[in-house]
Amino acid sequence: MARYKLTLEYEGTRYSGWQVQQNARTVQGELLEAAWNAFGTKELELMGSGRTDAGVHALGQVAHLDVRSQLDPRVIRMRLNDGLPADINVLDVSIAHPRFHARHHAVSRTYLYQISRRRTAFGKRYVWWIKDPLDIEAMAEACAVFEGFHDFRSFTRDDPDEKSTTVELQECYVAEAGDLILLRIRGSHFLWRMVRQMVGMIANVGRGASSVADLRELLRKASALPATVTAPPSGLFLEHVAYEDEDLPPEIMPTIRI
Amino acid sequence: MARYKLTLEYEGTRYSGWQVQQNARTVQGELLEAAWNAFGTKELELMGSGRTDAGVHALGQVAHLDVRSQLDPRVIRMRLNDGLPADINVLDVSIAHPRFHARHHAVSRTYLYQISRRRTAFGKRYVWWIKDPLDIEAMAEACAVFEGFHDFRSFTRDDPDEKSTTVELQECYVAEAGDLILLRIRGSHFLWRMVRQMVGMIANVGRGASSVADLRELLRKASALPATVTAPPSGLFLEHVAYEDEDLPPEIMPTIRI
């Protein structure tokens, strides 16, 4: 049995998220089908570093693939891409350690969120367009509140698979790039909807609808009212999954010029 | 009667080009419908700086609009955008001189063409993906051949509306941006399919399938075999239309990060 590590990008617009489902088009589903064809067998296993929701994109999702046949990683990549639709692209295939696990061994995940201050003919699928004026200073202050160890129970929906709601965020900051406001959030792991609920609240602070003190309250009293604004999936990108001894993602930058 | 100057961007993927047609979705058609609603009348005229083909995009198309009612340009822009689909976006509306003509008074048009050296999950609609290795030096040499006054008869399809096939190109150059190869072509005006046939031949030179001497021959003997490769519309953007006393477009850069 060989184990391969795959790195891939996808535009999530047309998909019901990463996780394979019956009667729904998913990224894992498309990738499995391409792998069945590439290896000529359905006896294989594919495990992602984590799920992404419907409409969420990835610049660097990681998965591991177990299969009996051994092939040159370059051939695997070529065959997979030949079988995949244009909005899913395998960036890299490498031979992995037999015990490498895409989910368990990830030390951090980095998300990029793009807010646009203007209507754009090209960006609709890749941004959250906010018409209201946004106070960037206040948003930066809001971001800083999230860094460190916190109980994020107010920033998730109930997920029976999650035992703990305590998460360490190594990075949470805002940057401007022309008409785009970029948020980068890096953490050990993420709860269901957590990034989009965080971004929703950070945007609320930017609009003046919530205060930084409100955010602190939400983090302190995990039982308080949950975050009420969930940012749309279109602006969200799983940017990078890091494993031990690997580089962190490069300087923050937008995915589109708008 | 008031005349307004409109500047707009659009993603051309879903449209049968700029020019209004019966039974086909066009950018001008969508804009006219939005204008009928914005002004509450069908008595108006809309003239673009030039046509763009099916699938071709625009970052800065210009048009003039004649209508009896007078409105604040900011209100016009807002009403038009409220009525337009997300892939067409009016960037600016201003009051124009009554004799301003979007087509006749344009002194130059600038096109951007994006070639991608790699498959990309996000770029398919915005690039021409070329798998073969490309020699950028040779492409730069090919570009230089086009600058100046030339008879471009070999680089167009017959168009009964065109009287002359002589065009002045002020700029034709290539630049690299990561995995993208960008071509910028600025000229007094353009013949039908001319940019895409030029790009097709420049790419052929990059691949080694044609020589710079072949290009010179095509330009010299306008009656020779026409250019045989037409670049796909997806990579093409009408970037800027310049009028007297106006700025030229800024530094060349890609529309997407891929």
CATH code for position A84: 3.30.70.580
Torsion from C-alpha of B10, B232, B174, B223, nearest 10 degrees: -120
Residue B258 has pLDDT above 60, yes or no: no
Between residues A161 and A139, the one the model is more confident about: A139
Positions of E strands within B40-199: 44-48, 57-67, 88-95, 106-116, 128-129, 148-151, 166-177, 180-187
pLDDT (average), residues A8-14: 96
Do B102 and B49 touch, CB atoms closer than 8 A? yes
Q: Do B211 and B161 reside in the same domain of the chain?
A: yes
Q: Read off the pLDDT band of A253 (50, 70, 90).
A: confident
* A235 lies in the same domain as A119: yes
For residues A178 and A258, the answer to whether their CB atoms sit within 8 Å is yes
Answer whether residue B131 shows pLDDT above 60: yes
* Orientation angle between helical segments A194-207 and A212-220, nearest 10 degrees: 150
Q: Is the pLDDT of residue A139 over 90?
A: yes
Question: Which residue on chain A is closest to B121 by alpha carbon?
Answer: A87
Q: Which residue has the tokens 């990579």?
A: B235
What pLDDT does residue A160 have? 65
Q: Last residue of a domain, which of B47, B66, B95?
A: B95
Check residue B225 and give its pLDDT: 62
Same-domain pairing of A73 and A163: no
Is residue B256 one of the residues assigned to a domain? no
Q: Do A122 and B11 touch (CB under 8 A)?
A: yes
Is residue A224's pLDDT more than 60?
A: no
Please indicate, yes or no, whether residues A116 and A238 belong to a single structural domain of this protein. Answer: yes
B141-193 confidence digits (pLDDT tens)? 999 999 999 999 888 877 666 678 899 999 999 999 988 999 999 999 999 89
Residue A258 lies in a domain: no
| Alpha-carbon distance A112 to nearest alpha carbon in chain B (angstroms) | 13
* Residues in chain A closer than 8 A to B87 (CB atoms): 121-122, 124
Determine whether A53 is an active site residue. Answer: yes
Report the pLDDT averaged over residues A101-129.
Answer: 93
Tokens of B47: 């003239």
Domain span at A215: 108-242
Global confidence as pTM: 0.88
CATH code of the domain in which A169 resides = 3.30.70.660
Q: Is A122 in contact with B81 (Cβ distance < 8 A)?
A: no
pLDDT at B115: 96
Q: Identify the band that residue A123 occupies on the pLDDT scale cut at 50, 70 and 90.
A: confident
What percentage of chain A exceeds 90 in pLDDT?
76
pLDDT tens per residue across span B188-246 = 999 989 999 999 999 999 999 999 999 998 888 655 566 678 999 999 999 999 998 77
* Same structural domain, A142 and A179: yes
Residue B153: inside a domain: yes
Tell me, yes or no, if B120 comes closer than 8 A to chain A by beta carbon.
yes
| B9 confidence band (pLDDT: 50, 70, 90) | very high
The pLDDT value given to residue B159: 67
A100 inside domain: no
Residues 53-82 of B with CB under 8 A from A: 57, 81
More confident residue, A257 or A49: A49
The pLDDT of residue B220 is 84
Yes or no: say if B194 and B156 are a contact pair by the CB < 8 Å rule: yes
Q: State whether B120 and B85 are in the same domain.
A: no
Q: What is the pLDDT of residue A226?
A: 66
Nearest to B87 among A10, A121, A256 (CB): A121
Residue B256 gets which letter from DSSP? B
Digit-coded pLDDT (tens) for A77-105: 999 999 999 999 999 999 999 899 999 99
Number of domains observed in the structure of chain A: 2
Could you tell me if B257 lies within 8 Å of chain A, comparing CB atoms?
yes
Please indicate, yes or no, whether residues A87 and A112 belong to a single structural domain of this protein.
no
Predicted local confidence at residue B95, as pLDDT: 94
The closest alpha carbon to A167, from A140, A142, A194, belongs to: A194
Q: How far apart are CA A111 and CA B59, in angstroms?
A: 28
pLDDT band at B136 (very low <50, low <70, confident <90, very high): very high
* B168 domain residue, yes or no: yes
Radius of gyration of chain B (CA): 19
The answer on pLDDT for A212 being more than 90 is yes
Residues 6+ apart with CB under 8 A from A34: A79, A80, A81, A82, A83, A84
Q: Which two tokens stand for residue A47?
A: 């495990």
* Domain identity same for B115 and B232: yes
A66: in domain: yes
Q: Are residues B137 and B209 in the same domain?
A: yes
Of the listed ranges A108-112, A188-192, B223-227, the one predicted with least confidence: B223-227
Chain A residue numbers with beta carbons less than 8 Å from the beta carbon of B81 are 119
Is A30 an interface residue toward B (CB < 8 Å)?
Answer: no
